[in-house]
A and B are shown apart, each in its own frame.
Chain A
Amino acid sequence: MSTGPRLFPSSSSSTSSSSSSSAAPTSASSKPGSLGSPFATSSSSTLPSSSSDPSPLAGGTGRPAAAAAAAGFTSSSAAAMQSSPHHPHHHHALQASSASASSYMMSIGGSSSARKKTEGKTLSIKGFKVAPKLPPNYEQETWQKLQAAVRAVHEARPIDSYLEVLYEAVENLCLLGGGATLYERLTAECESHLRLEAEKLSVASEDPVTFLSVVDACWQAHCEQMITIRSIFLHLDRTYVLQNPHVQSLWDVGLIYFRRQVAEVTVTQRRLITGILLLIEQERAGDSVNRSLLKSLLRMFSSLGMYTEAFEPHFLRATHELYAREGAALITTMPVPDYLAHVEARLQAESERIVHYLDIHTRRNLLATVERQLIEQHIRVLIERGFEELCNANRIADLSRFYSLLGRVNGLEPLRVAFAAYIKKRGAALVCDPEKDKNMVQDLLDMKQQLDTLLSQCFGHNDRFQNCMKESFEAFINMRQNKPAELIAKFIDAKLRAGNKEATEEELETVLDRLMILFRYIQGKDVFEAFYKNDLARRLLHNKSASVDSERAMLSKLKQECGGQFTGKLEGMFKDMDLSKAIMVSFNQSKFASQMGDIELSVSVLTQGYWPTNKPTSMNMLRIQQEFQKFYLQKHTGKQLSWDNPRGDCLVRAAFPKGTKELQVSFMQTLVLLALNAGDGVSFPTIKAETNIGKSSLLRLLQSLACGKIRVLNKNPKGRDVNETDTFDFNTDFVNKHYRLKVNQIQMKETAEENADTNEKVNQNRQYQIDAAIVRIMKARKSLAHQLLLSELFNQLKFPMKPADLKKRIESLIDREYLERDEKDQSTYIYLA
């Protein structure tokens, strides 16, 4: 009997009695255990959530109410019916809900008293004498009643009958096997109604937006109507439809007809799409539009299964066209940063659009379209027009945007290339211009730091960008041979030298670390080594090092970078200095010390291989030097000592009439000063004979003493330049507020010479390395063509060189009979064992 789904949580007798008492006009037909009609469940209609949800898509499925009903909740369908304003039961149902609750209570009490009365009586059941018959035209009449109701629903009129009656009519028809007929009649009725609606639409307003609202209203009405109809015909949906797999549910059939009659009509569809696209375009242009209308219509397309075929392609094409146009127009007129910001805003707006009314599946295609049109098409122009400027201006935010936008369209590779080109261009401008040599290293440090910031803040520490930065630095810093290495060495010298009070130890440490990064990029490390060694020698010998700790720190950095081979000699220099101190201690304790007079001597004894060599000077040894040499050779047999006087320093006490001063001067300057002790007005040749110093050096020395900042000598006649005819004497008017003074040497010329010297030394060392490499290669290969040999050499040798230099070395090796040319092929060399 009760084969249908139970619509009540418990369909016991007490429940049925409550429903019979509440639905008074039709109570007679309510049997215990019957299917139970949704109209009898008025008690559940009091749930606020169900009565306030008129959405046709509640539940999100094609047949939402049906699904809910299957789960045992009839509330939504019932509520949907009762909430329709023209429903006759509406008022009654709400009243009944409270009545049913009280009658339920009563029926419990009443049933106990009723049980007492019927006690002891028998109840007999007898069959009908005549089998009951249906009226002959029952089916016809019932359908007419239902048809009237369906039409009333479609025309939004009040229904004449009670819904419960209608429901039971459907139930009866189904039970009598009239399901198929009823289904066909009903669907035909719906289809004809939709046909009428479609006709109305075809003459609806021309205005696209108005048309959209008309269609929307039509769709909303359709949904509501289908819910009502389905509720009436619920029994049909639950039995006939479910039992026949090929029959569509009422809700689905409603959608199919709606789609066939309304949405798929070419004109309507075209107008719909045009209207929607127009609205979207308006919104993109900045107007505010009715988003809920759009949302509702697009949901309609989704529900009808037409979104992907009918709407999405048109939408994407419109998007494509719009942004292709916009991109082409803006890229030429807008500054790049503004353009990028605009693109970002566009992407943001489109994402919001998806949230607000588009289907989520459109997201990928939509964003891809926008990205392609606004970014991918213009990558080259964007980079060409804006990247360099942004880097120059250090526009962190704009560059981050640049990076993230290009990252969306696989545009990072061109950006990386541009980044590399930018670094090379900017770096080359710094490195290759001799006029900028003065600030080159500081500028490079600043540039490196700025680029590091860009890398971390804008380019997300991208490894490829990091590598490209490294390669670019290597490329440009080696564009000019030797000079950058020399300048870095000098820069480090300036930082490590005493009197450099601008930085604390920590600051110095970080600067050195950053310098080491630059140093890492340099190929000609031997140049650096040579200059660094020269500077280190000067710092050590003249005691100008700011701090031994910093020196050692720098040394360990170099060691880490280039290995012990590189720093071994530098370490040896430190060792020599320590050793010299020990030697002086023992010298001062020896008998030779007594020969020193009042001169305090300290000698730095250098190991020849470690230190940069000076040209040996032929000078007479002074007496105290001889004493020291005796002492030294006595202690160290097998060694010989040579003096490097130009590197010596003296502290000279000069008793000027207006105050005694101590002068910090070089040994050579000291010799000149001592020569003047002889008397007033000493001539140039006399000094030269006395000191045994070469002419040009002596001229420079005299200039430093007589024409520099601190003029301890008077020159006669006066003038800026020193001539061989001049005579010199002490400046007896000399005054200075300091007691101890340093008389600078004339450095400029010397430095230039020194630089040339150092470079020359480096080149000589390189020649040996080239020779060794050539011999090594040829020994392995026995015979090799010129070009192959060159490319092999470029692979092996770590410093920059010109093919012409290599050719010279090959010639030299041929002369020395290490190699010979092949007689048949002059461009091939053969190794001679």
Chain B
Amino acid sequence: MKVRVKNWSAVAVWRWKVDDDTCGICRMAFDGCCTDCRLPGDECPLVWGQCKHCFHMHCILKWVHSPNANQLCPMCRQEWKF
């Protein structure tokens, strides 16, 4: 005799795929959230620029919109583009 799997309820865990541990702007863990958020996850996503640098989305938006940042990536001073 043989057995056959009918249903499978699997469990998977997701996390951000980044090399760094912390956000270069707020110094908080990427696994955590930016300083303005309470909880990590989809509510506080990460974004990558064309320069391959990664930040909390809230952090980089705040940075880019600040008057003296000149739309530059804070890590490499190149123009920030999503």
Contacts and interface: CB of A to CB of B under 8 A. Distances in A.
Contact of A609 (B6, B9, B32, B54): B32
A638 B17 contact: yes
B79 interface: no
Given A569-B39, A572-B41, A662-B6, A656 B11 contact: no
A643 B41 contact: no
Interface in B1-20: 1-18
Name the residue in B18, B39, B46, B48 with the highest tally of chain A Cβ atoms < 10 Å from its Cβ: B39
A677 interface: yes
Contacts of A625: 10, 12
B14 A565 contact: no
Given A599-B6, A652-B6, A677-B3, A606 B12 contact: yes
Contact of B1 (A605, A650, A730): A730
Nearest to A604: B11
Given A565-B38, A568-B38, A605 B12 contact: yes
A638 B16 contact: yes
Prevailing SS type, chain B contact patch = strand
Interface string A648-683: 111111111100001100010010011011000000
A639 B32 CA distance: 14
Interface in A551-602: 564-565, 568-569, 572, 579, 598-602
A572 B40 CA distance: 9
B25 to A, nearest CB: 17
Contacts of B13: 605-608, 611, 613, 641-644
Name the residue in B3, B4, B42 with the highest tally of chain A Cβ atoms < 10 Å from its Cβ: B3
Contacts of B17: 638-640
A610 B41 contact: yes
Contact of B7 (A600, A610, A628, A641): A600
Contacts of A604: 9-12
Contacts of B11: 541, 603-604, 606, 643-645, 647-648
A645 B4 CA distance: 18
Prevailing SS type, chain A contact patch = mixed
B1 A655 contact: yes
Contact of B9 (A565, A641, A650): A650
Contact of B8 (A601, A640, A732): A601
Nearest to A629: B12
B39 A609 contact: yes
Given A609-B40, A655-B1, A639 B15 contact: yes
B16 A667 contact: no
Contacts of B39: 568-569, 572, 609-610
A638 B5 contact: no
Contacts of A610: 39-41
A117 interface: no
B15 A599 contact: no
Nearest to B41: A607
Contacts of A642: 12-15
A513 B78 CA distance: 57
Interface string A727-739: 0001010000000
Contact of B10 (A564, A565, A645, A677): A645
A644 B7 contact: no
Contacts of A605: 12-14
B8 A608 contact: no
A121 interface: no
B12 A603 contact: yes
B43 to A, nearest CB: 9
Interface in A319-366: none
A609 B31 contact: yes
10 contacts: A541-B11, A599-B6, A604-B12, A609-B39, A641-B13, A642-B13, A642-B15, A643-B13, A644-B12, A644-B13
Interface of B: 1-18, 31-32, 38-42, 45-48, 54
Given A610-B39, A632-B12, A642-B14, 18 more contacts: A564-B38, A572-B41, A600-B7, A601-B10, A602-B7, A602-B9, A605-B13, A625-B12, A638-B16, A638-B45, A640-B14, A640-B15, A640-B17, A643-B11, A644-B11, A650-B5, A653-B5, A677-B2
Interface of A: 541-543, 564-565, 568-569, 572, 579, 598-611, 613, 624-625, 628-629, 632, 636, 638-645, 647-657, 662-663, 667, 670, 673-674, 676-677, 730, 732
